[in-house]
Amino acid sequence: MAILARWRRGESGFSLIELMLVVGIAGVVTAMAVVQIGSSRQAYKGDAAMRVVLAQFNQARELAITQRRFIRLTFDTTANQLSVVREDTTATTTTLAVLGFEGGAKFTLMTGVPDTPDAFGRTAATSFTSSNGTFPSATGSTNVVKFSPDGTLVDWNGRAANGTIFTGITGTTTSARAVTILGSTGRVRGYRWNGTAWVTV
């Protein structure tokens, strides 16, 4: 009899209250995951836009050095596209790439997000300054810079230029990203806004 009672206790399983408690906890954890994924998604889209700019700047610099040509970078802030163009001669050019952003990311300044630690300026989504303090020249464009054959970033007239490209998704400050370029060395650096400060990528 004692063996039979012990066997029946082992077969009893879970009560309805225990099952409902487990289902409730699983529901709360699932809801938290869905909310977290939704906010993380915007941050990933911001990262993707920043990486497009980083990759194109690094590639343009390498092309300028290896091909001994000026390589232009043109920012279309209306269509949110970045073009890479090689200057073959003074009159002819070759378009090497035209890239856009995915997921609603664009060239944009976020309200409440300050300038990067490099402090190159935050006057527009594509903010550049020349070595003489003015940008651009009368013949140039605010949205065009180029790498020279020695790897430095210059403005339309060949003066060294520093600058910052700001990207993100409108209304989502956690998607704010920035790419800074130190003209004299051609150093390119990415930043991610974490809600309180810029963090180097």
125 contacts 77 by C-beta, under 8 angstroms: yes
Question: So where are the chain's domains?
Answer: 14-200
Whether the CB-CB separation of 194 and 110 falls below 8 Å is answered with: no
C-alpha distance from residue 122 to each of 100, 131, 178, 179, 196 (Å):
22, 17, 10, 12, 17
pLDDT tens digits for range 2-51: 555 555 555 567 788 888 888 989 888 887 777 766 667 778 888 999 99
Question: What topology is assigned to 14-200 in CATH?
Answer: minor pseudopilin epsh fold (3.55.40)
Report pLDDT for 181.
93
User: For 152-191, what is each residue's pLDDT tens digit?
Assistant: 999 888 888 899 999 999 888 889 999 999 988 989 999 9
- What is the rounded radius of gyration, in angstroms, for the C-alpha atoms of the chain? 26
The rounded distance, in Å, linking the Cα atoms of 144 and 127 is 11
Q: How many CB atoms lie within 10 A of CB 43?
A: 20
Q: 105-156 pLDDT, tens per residue? A: 999 998 889 999 999 888 888 888 887 666 765 566 778 889 999 999 998 8
Give the pLDDT of residue 137.
59
**Per-residue burial over 165-176, b = 16 or more CB atoms within 10 Å of its CB, e = otherwise:** bbbbbeebbbbb
